[in-house]
Amino acid sequence: MQNKILIIGVDGGATKVVAHVVTVDEAGFYELGKSVAQRQYQDYPGYDRQFKPVPLPAQLADLQKGFEPTDEEMKQSSAYIQAFADVIREIAESENQYHVLIGMGMPGLKTNDKRGIAALANGPRMPHFCDLLEEKLEKLDVHLVSPVHKLGSDADYCGMGETFALDGSFRNVNNAYYLGGGTGVADAMVLNGHLLAFDDAKPWIAKTWEFKSSGGYSLERYISAKGVQFLYGESIGISTEELDKKGVYGQQILEMAQKGDHKAAETIAMVSGHLAKLLFERMSTLYSGWQSSFEFINETKTLDPQHPFKGTLLDRIVIGQRLGDWLGLDAGAKMLLEPLKSQLETFILSSGEEEFIQHYLSGNKLKKGLIKLSSLRAAPALGAGADAFLNYQKKSTC
C-alpha cells in the first residue's frame, strides 16, 4: 500500500517548517527518505518580524468562550500556510508524485477538531489551519489521498519518531521520558512499554511550557534553544533579532560561557538549574505523584497527586533536538550537562526515598546510561508520517 502513495511528514515550528519523505518497510520500521524541503516563515510577504502574540493567559481564557483570530494573526498565519504548502509541493515535485498522504505536527493547543491551532505561545492562533492549507494545495495540483486527519502535537510525534525509527531512543525500553529543545520544548513519555501522550495524562502531569519559572516566564524560556538566546540577550540588553544578525545563538553562548564570558555563564547556569529541576519533577511525579514543584502560567491549573502509574521509575531520560546536540558538544558537556547531572544527583539524594535513590544512583552519581542524547533530529517529521500512515491503514481496513 505504501508504494502507491507518497507519505510526507511535516514538522512545523515557531520559525520554520521542514518536510521529509517518510518510508515504511515490511517490518513496520519507518525511515526518512532522501527528499527534504524547508522554509522560513519570515521569508514570506505578510510576515511581521515584530509580531506580538496575544498574551498566553488571554489565549487560554479565549478557549473557554470561543474566539476568532485577530487581523494581525490572520496576516501572520498566511505566511505559515504558504510555507507549509510550498514544502509539501516541493517534495511532491522531487518525487514526481502528486497524490500524497500528509502527517503534520505543530506546537500549541489544538482546536476541538484537531485541525487548527487554538493557543500558541510564540505565534498566531490558526483555528482553520488545515482547511486553508488543503485549499492551497489543491490549487497547486497537490492531491491528498485522504484529508489531514489531525494537526498533531510535535511533542507526541517526537515520541512516535523515537518509537518507530529503527534506531529510536524509545525502542526496547519500558519507562522513559523525552525532552526535546528547539524553538520550543517537546515532552513525550513511554510508560509500561507504551507511548502515553501528555494530553491523555493531563489530570496529573503538565507540559513544560505550562510551568512558570522562578523568573516568571514559562519554563520553556529556560530550556529551549530560542529561550536561551532570549535570556542571554535580556541580560546584556540586546534583542534576539540583534543576536540573530550577529550570529549569536545557543551554541555560541555555550562556547562564550566556556571561555569565561560572565553573562553567558550566568545564562547557562540558569538553564542547567531549571533543567535539573524539571527532570527531577518528572521523576518524582511518576514515582510519588505531583509535589507542587512549580507554579503554573495558568494560575487556575491544578494537578491530581494520584495517578495510575505511581511507583514508576524511569529506565531512560532522552534529550533531543538542538538541546541534545548542545549537550553532545565539549562546551555543552562541561557547562551544561555536568552541572545538570550534579544538581539532579543532589535532588535525588534529598528525596529520602530509598527505592528511588537506589534506582537512579550508583553511589552518589547518576547511573550510567540514564541520560541518553538523541541524534534523531527529524523525529517529529518521522512520527507525523508514521501517524498519518497508520491512521490511513486503519481507515482503509474498516
Q: Is the pLDDT of residue 261 over 60?
A: yes
Residues 225 and 349 in one domain: yes
Q: Is the pLDDT of residue 40 over 80?
A: yes
pTM of model > 0.85: yes
Residues 94 and 189 in one domain: no
List 320's β-bridge partners, or say none: 180
Question: Which residue is listed with cell 502515553?
Answer: 196
Number of domains comprising the chain: 2
The mean pLDDT of the chain is: 93
pLDDT value, residue 328: 93
Q: Is the pLDDT of residue 62 over 50?
A: yes
Considering the chain, what percentage of its residues have pLDDT values greater than 90?
79
Q: What is the CATH number of the domain that holds 278?
A: 3.30.420.40
Residues 276 and 141 in one domain: no
Residues 255 and 311 in one domain: yes
Q: Is the pLDDT of residue 200 over 70?
A: yes
Q: Is the pLDDT of residue 27 over 90?
A: no
Please report, as a single letter, which amino acid is at residue 118: A
pLDDT value, residue 130: 97
Residues 134 and 282 in one domain: no
Residues 194 and 324 in one domain: yes
Residues 195 and 314 in one domain: yes
Q: Is the pLDDT of residue 144 over 80?
A: yes
Is 163 among the domain residues? no
Residues 274-319: pLDDT tens digits? 999 999 999 999 999 999 999 998 888 999 999 999 999 999 999 9
Q: Is the pLDDT of residue 3 over 50?
A: no
Instruction: Give the Å distances, CA to CA, from 145 to 1, 67, 131, 135, 148.
Output: 12, 31, 15, 14, 9
Q: What's the grid cell of residue 28?
A: 513496520
Higher-pLDDT residue of 15, 74: 74
Q: How far apart are CA 252 and CA 355, in angstroms?
A: 40
